[in-house]
Amino acid sequence: MSSQKYASLRYTALRVALLVACFAVVYGLCYAHIVPLGVGSSNLVWMVLLALILSAPLSWVLLRKQRDAMSEQIVQRVDNAKARIAANAGQEDGA
């Protein structure tokens, strides 16, 4: 249970870390003039968008285990909430 306790937080933190790593790579590639810098003052926006585009498929592949753990955690919470709602509805009907 403790491994799933922070599954959502762990997945989110890893996703952000992967985005930051992709941004660092894009930043390096842009300033090494391997990737174009963008047009005018759009440099930062260009680098962020490129990092987002790169991090999305990487997170899909690299973070599969964490995503599955997070979805199990969410399903468990929804099931618990449904059980509480059903128990409360049963108490109201019985009263």
Digit-coded pLDDT (tens) for 16-40:
999 999 999 999 998 888 888 776 6
d(CA 75, CA 43): 41
Q: For residue 95, what pLDDT band results from cuts at 50, 70 and 90?
A: low
- In this prediction, residue 93 has a pLDDT band, given cuts at 50, 70 and 90, of low
Q: What is the pLDDT of residues 50-90, one digit of tens each?
A: 999 999 999 999 999 999 999 898 898 899 889 889 888 77
CB contact set of 55 (below 8 Å; sequence gap of 6+):
15, 18, 19, 21, 22
The pLDDT assigned to 4 comes to 65
- Average pLDDT of the chain is 86
